[in-house]
């Protein structure tokens, strides 16, 4: 893509004097509002959508930066001031440059091994799955309605002919892609199983537990 | 007027004049379509409220540019858009908290907390629609999941909530000793201004080093003290208690805060155009708000202040 096209493409994403014709942003705007409306009308699950609040993660960070005093502490340092608690930020990694801010009591040092947990591929897959799960009712209904429209029918025909017209190599590639996807889904399922706090008990033990609870 | 120890150079003064005019025009060009589409009631260029929105957003854009330059990044179109969107959000959030009474402020804070903790926001008016759209557009232009940015946004929310709670519990608050009242009010203003600029800096220059964060945080706090001094008489009339309208000699106190903050900025941040722009604009803000304070002392809390 040329520089000029890049710039124009970008301009489409920020606010411009073109206003209503700013299609990319208009779509995002409508999508964002629709999401909130669907939730308000109880058409989608009320589960958490996105959490900005970082307090649960901040608990595990090894350093604290006091923005009001400009001092960097180890977590739990006695030198952390109470009256600037509301100005303190959890910090995961520090550099040598930050040592000029180090608290003289706790003397924080860079720890290369302790870094902020990053998103893994599985987190992203789970993210996509959670979105599909949360919006499955709406998506399913939309899919059913769309399928019977002219555009939906045309698309169905296109998909069908696309699959039929795949040559031998294409078919092999398609099969390999499906297999890879299946392996990924199996891995995610296995991962999910391992993360479950309790596994479903056999019928006999469930019955036994029920009897115990009844006592 | 008394002499001010530090003054920007005439060249910076001249540049700030030009920048204010240029950016004010850009702010209007970029935000007008958004405002007209989602909150037409606010899109009336002759009204005081619209002019306030433009002035506050212009301020945010100038500060955003100074922060970018301090961090060594160009103030490109994306960063300018982020500053403008954030300015619009700040104007609207301040109005929800300050302009429609305690019940509206409390209701907005409750719903905003749900937005920050779960992602859901019940849009109740066109103003809130504009606020929500500006927020969602910001998430398109910057990784909103940056840990420091997430902490700054939530800390700003908590500072706003503390401010509102002080107003809601005015009777209990007034029964406290004066020294304790001031000890509560000062960090409240510091955090509202400090976290406001922390959010801005994480939006436009997320890789700024920690040592600069401290100086910028205190610059943000100074903006809030200056704001509160400018609004002193209007706040007193509406029964709003702030550090700057309670302290014994507010002008002297503000001068001291200005001197210490400028001194810190000039120690912690390397010499350069970004630092000169930040210090110069703080000076402009300081002097124009001192004048506003004096004018309102006579006129009674209704004068209009821009940056010239």
Residue A164 to residues A4, A18, A158, A182, B211, Cα–Cα distance (Å): 40, 44, 10, 21, 63
Average pLDDT rounded to a whole number, residues A182-200? 56
Average pLDDT rounded to a whole number, residues A189-196? 55
B24-43: pLDDT as tens digits: 999 999 999 999 999 999 99
| Residue A141 clears pLDDT 50, i.e. is over it | yes
The residue among B275, B145, B255, B282 whose CA lies nearest residue B208 is: B275
**Residues B117, A50: C-beta atoms closer than 8 Å:** no
**Residues A29, B30: C-beta atoms closer than 8 Å:** no
Phi, psi (degrees; rounded to nearest 5) at A64 = -130, 130
Model confidence at A90, in pLDDT bands (50, 70, 90)?
very high
> Where would I find the H helices in B72-209?
77-98, 101-118, 126-141, 147-168, 170-174, 178-204
B115, two tokens: 């937005």
Q: Using CB atoms and an 8 Å cut-off, which of residues 153-212 of chain A contact chain B? A: none
Determine the distance from the C-alpha atom of residue A104 to the mean position of all C-alpha atoms in its chain, rounded to a whole number.
Answer: 39
8 A C-beta contact, residue A71 and residue A108 = no
B114, two tokens: 């749900």
A17-46: pLDDT as tens digits: 444 446 667 888 888 898 898 888 888 887
B204-259: pLDDT as tens digits: 999 888 989 999 999 999 999 999 999 998 888 888 899 999 999 999 999 999 99
Residue B296: how many other CB atoms lie within 10 Å: 20
3-state SS class at B165: helix
Phi, psi (degrees; rounded to nearest 5) at A66 = -90, 105
| Residue A65 clears pLDDT 70, i.e. is over it | yes
The residue among B127, B153, B125 whose CA lies nearest residue B139 is: B153
| Residue B147 clears pLDDT 60, i.e. is over it | yes
Q: Using CB atoms and an 8 Å cut-off, which of residues 23-82 of chain A contact chain B? A: 25, 28-29, 32-33, 36, 39-40, 46, 48-55, 57-58, 65, 67-70, 72
Nearest to A50 among B119, B122, B218 (CB): B119
**Residues B33, A28: C-beta atoms closer than 8 Å:** no
State the Cα–Cα distance between residues B90 and B156, nearest whole angstrom: 11
8 A C-beta contact, residue B32 and residue B54 = no
Question: What is the value of pTM for the model shown?
Answer: 0.80
Helix, strand, coil percentages (3-state) for chain B, rounded to 5, are: 80, 0, 20
- What is the gyration radius of the CA atoms in chain B, in angstroms? 18
Interface test with B, best of A15, A71, A72 (most B CBs within 10 A): A15
The residue among B301, B296, B179, B189 whose CA lies nearest residue B248 is: B179
State the Cα–Cα distance between residues A143 and B201, nearest whole angstrom: 43
Model confidence at A137, in pLDDT bands (50, 70, 90)?
low
The contacts of residue B231 (CB under 8 Å, 6+ apart) are: B242
Kindly report which listed range (A121-130, B157-166, B278-287) carries the lowest average pLDDT score. A121-130
Q: Exposed e or buried b for every residue in B230-246, given b needs 16+ CB within 10 A?
A: bbbbbbeeeebbbbbbb
What integer pLDDT is reported at residue A45 of this predicted model?
80
What integer pLDDT is reported at residue A5 of this predicted model?
35
**Strands A88-91 vs A71-74: parallel, antiparallel or unpaired:** unpaired
């Amino acid at each position: 893509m040329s520089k000029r096209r890049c710039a124009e493409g970008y301009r489409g994403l920020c606010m411009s004097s073109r206003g209503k014709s700013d299609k990319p942003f208009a779509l995002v705007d409508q999508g964002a509002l629709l999401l909130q409306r669907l939730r308000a009308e109880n058409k989608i699950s009320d589960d958490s959508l996105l959490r900005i609040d970082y307090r649960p993660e901040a608990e595990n960070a090894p350093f604290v930066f006091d923005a009001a005093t400009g001092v960097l502490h180890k977590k739990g340092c006695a030198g952390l001031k109470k009256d600037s608690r509301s100005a303190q930020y959890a910090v995961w990694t520090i550099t040598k440059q930050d040592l000029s801010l180090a608290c003289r009591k706790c003397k924080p040092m860079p720890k290369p091994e302790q870094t902020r947990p990053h998103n893994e591929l599985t987190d992203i897959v789970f993210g996509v799955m959670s979105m599909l799960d949360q919006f499955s009712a709406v998506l399913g209904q939309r899919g059913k309605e769309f399928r019977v429209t002219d555009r939906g029918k045309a698309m169905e025909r296109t998909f069908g002919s696309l699959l039929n017209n795949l040559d031998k190599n294409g078919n092999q590639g398609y099969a390999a892609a499906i297999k890879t996807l299946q392996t990924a889904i199996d891995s995610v399922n296995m991962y999910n199983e391992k993360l479950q706090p309790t596994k479903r008990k056999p019928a006999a033990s469930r019955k036994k537990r029920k009897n115990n609870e009844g006592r | 007027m008394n002499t001010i120890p530090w003054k920007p150079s005439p060249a910076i003064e001249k540049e700030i004049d030009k920048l204010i005019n240029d950016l004010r025009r850009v702010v209007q060009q970029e935000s007008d379509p958004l405002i007209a589409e989602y909150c037409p009631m606010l899109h009336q260029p002759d009204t005081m409220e619209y002019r306030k929105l433009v002035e506050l957003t212009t301020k945010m854009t100038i500060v955003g540019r100074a922060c970018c330059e301090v961090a060594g990044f160009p103030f490109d179109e994306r960063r300018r858009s982020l500053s403008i969107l954030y300015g619009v959000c700040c104007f609207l959030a301040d109005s929800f908290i300050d302009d429609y009474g305690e019940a509206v402020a409390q209701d907005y804070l409750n719903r905003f907390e749900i937005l920050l903790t779960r992602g859901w926001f019940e849009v109740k008016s066109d103003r809130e629609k504009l606020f929500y759209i500006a927020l969602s557009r910001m998430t398109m232009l910057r990784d909103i999941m940056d840990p420091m940015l997430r902490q700054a946004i939530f800390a700003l929310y908590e500072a706003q909530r503390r401010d509102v709670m002080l107003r809601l519990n005015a009777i209990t608050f007034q029964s406290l000793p004066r020294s304790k009242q001031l000890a509560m009010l000062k960090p409240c203003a510091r955090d509202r201004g400090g976290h406001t600029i922390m959010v801005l800096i994480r939006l436009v220059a997320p890789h700024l080093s920690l040592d600069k964060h401290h100086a910028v945080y205190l610059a943000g706090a100074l903006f809030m003290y200056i704001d509160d001094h400018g609004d002193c008489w209007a706040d007193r009339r509406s029964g709003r208690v702030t550090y700057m309208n309670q302290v014994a000699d507010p002008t002297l106190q503000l001068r001291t805060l200005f001197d210490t903050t400028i001194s810190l900025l000039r120690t912690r941040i390397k010499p350069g155009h970004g630092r000169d722009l930040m210090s110069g604009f703080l000076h402009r803000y300081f002097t124009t708000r001192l004048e506003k304070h004096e004018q309102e002392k006579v006129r009674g809390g209704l004068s209009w202040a821009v940056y010239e």
